[in-house]
Homo-oligomer: A and B are copies of this chain.
Amino acid sequence: MEKTKKFLLQESELPTKWYNIVADMPNKPQPMLHPGTKQPLKPEDLYPIFAEELANQELNQTDTWIEIPEEVREKYKIYRPTPLVRAYNLEKALDTPAHIYFKNESVSPVGSHKLNSALAQAYYCKKQGITNITTETGAGQWGTALALAAKIFGLELAVYMVKISYEQKPYRRSLMQTWGAQVIASPSMSTKAGRKTITENPGYQGSLGTAISEAIELAMSTPNCRYTLGSVLNHVSLHQTVIGLEAEKQMEMTGEYPDIVIGCFGGGSNFSGISFPFMRHNIKEGKKTRFISAEPASCPKLTRGVFQYDFGDEAGYTPLIPMYTLGHNFAPAHIHAGGLRYHGAGSIVSQMMKDKMMEAVDIKQLDSFKAGVLFAQTEGIIPAPESAHAIAAAINEALKAKEEGVSKTILFNLSGHGLVDMSAYDQYLAGDLINYALSDEDISKNTDKLEKIV
């Protein structure tokens, strides 16, 4: 009998609601705090920064299900539902008894899962009559997604792109420009935050933290303009649950249920997206699925950071977020998985880590590329350097299953492809990449500076 490789849903099976796991969590995340008053944040505090519906979603702790607007679902159809794929060829190469499945978010026209939230955010901004939006982008995946979403919903977009990515990834810049966005290398001279950074540190290659500061500053100083964020925040995780909700239906088609669910980890959006819908069965029905986030060893907030209130950006414009963090002044090494170079984790995931509802592993850069190349040569798809971290973690679990002689069902999220990141593979194949080792002092020098509020 022929084996099914791809489990496909029809458009009519697209989820109609996002899943808001906060409503189901035994311990809710501690509140985000206003950076001035240090009082728990109210939605109104966020209205100057975000579209109101997004601000409301951000602090919604009571509604388990939130309707996906029909206009957003219509646009999801450009690429959704995405396939769930059985990685037979990878299994064979590993000679493992484990069954490995991946959710293929790389089929989106921007090449990653980021479009799931970009479309939602652009829609809510448009609905509110907002005309201009800003954002930052690290690896460029969020910026490209938002560029397409902004064009689709008729918004003007300015993107602050981390300088090293701007230089290393000219194709990402071109993508955003083709979809009609304005792209500025960060740090830039166009904002106070950018000028300060450049003055203090002229050779600085940029960081997500600085770029966020610049994008927020521009949004707050421009009429009818709002800021958008591609990860970390609760409403972004909410939108990404469309991944896991589809995967849930697709896993049913396979006749299996995942023992292990894995996502790579930058700010948490793709990990949350694949995990939360399955985690609700752990919470409500006592299922024992393990959830593993895979972060780079050079930016190990969940494995080696502290749980503390910290800012989401470098300049301290954002609310204080209760998070696992390396400190908002942490400057990560210039690894190629640019999307994973963020100092903190979102408040939901951080609470889950504290409550041991999930695990975290760190992956060295060379191991991530080794896994990426093996995946490319077996399953055909060249993964984004970020997603290669999830693949490396999945391979580790599959090899453990082989050692133990047990079959495991492993599901990971292929958050994106690497076709626009080939210079990274080039350097890897040429032997030009290294592993970055962080000492405890590298970490504590930033985390020790954090104000203790918890």
Contact = CB atoms under 8 A, between A and B. Distances in A.
Interface in A116-170: 148, 151-152, 170
Contact of A107 (B3, B4, B107, B382): B107
Interface stretch (A6-14, A55-63, A283-291): A6-14
A152 B380 contact: yes
Contact of A180 (B109, B178, B377): B377
Contacts of A406: none
A18 interface: no
A79 interface: yes
A423 interface: yes
Contacts of A429: 174, 177-178
Contact of A377 (B77, B179, B419, B423): B179
B419 A175 contact: yes
Number of copies: 2
Contacts of A338: none
A426 interface: yes
A6 B11 contact: yes
Nearest to A70: B2
B382 A178 contact: yes
A422 interface: yes
B426 A174 contact: yes
Given A11-B4, A77-B5, A419 B179 contact: no
Contacts of A422: 170-171, 174-175, 178, 420
A170 B178 CA distance: 20
Contacts of A380: 78-79, 109-110, 148, 152
A425 interface: yes
A373 interface: yes
Contacts of A89: 152
Contacts of A171: 171, 419-420, 422-423
A78 B380 CA distance: 7
Which of A78, A79, A380 is packed against the most chain B CB atoms within 10 Å? A380
A229 B1 CA distance: 33
Which of A10, A74, A177, A422 is packed against the most chain B CB atoms within 10 Å? A422
A183 to B, nearest CB: 12
Interface string A96-109: 00000000000101
Interface in A380-435: 380-382, 417, 419-420, 422-423, 425-426, 429
A424 to B, nearest CB: 9
Which of A77, A151, A420 is packed against the most chain B CB atoms within 10 Å? A77
Contact of A109 (B174, B381, B420): B381
A376 interface: yes
A322 interface: no
A53 interface: no
A5 B425 contact: no
A379 interface: yes
A377 B382 CA distance: 25
Interface in A328-354: none
A111 interface: yes
Query: Would you list the 7 A-B pairs with minimal beta carbon distance, nearest first?
Result: A174-B422, A171-B422, A109-B380, A5-B77, A109-B381, A174-B426, A78-B380
18 contacts: A2-B73, A2-B74, A5-B11, A5-B74, A89-B152, A109-B382, A110-B380, A152-B380, A171-B423, A174-B429, A175-B422, A177-B425, A177-B426, A178-B376, A178-B382, A178-B429, A180-B377, A420-B422
Given A78-B381, A171-B419, 18 more contacts: A2-B11, A2-B12, A4-B11, A5-B11, A78-B379, A109-B379, A109-B382, A152-B380, A171-B422, A171-B423, A175-B419, A177-B425, A178-B373, A178-B425, A178-B429, A180-B377, A420-B420, A420-B422
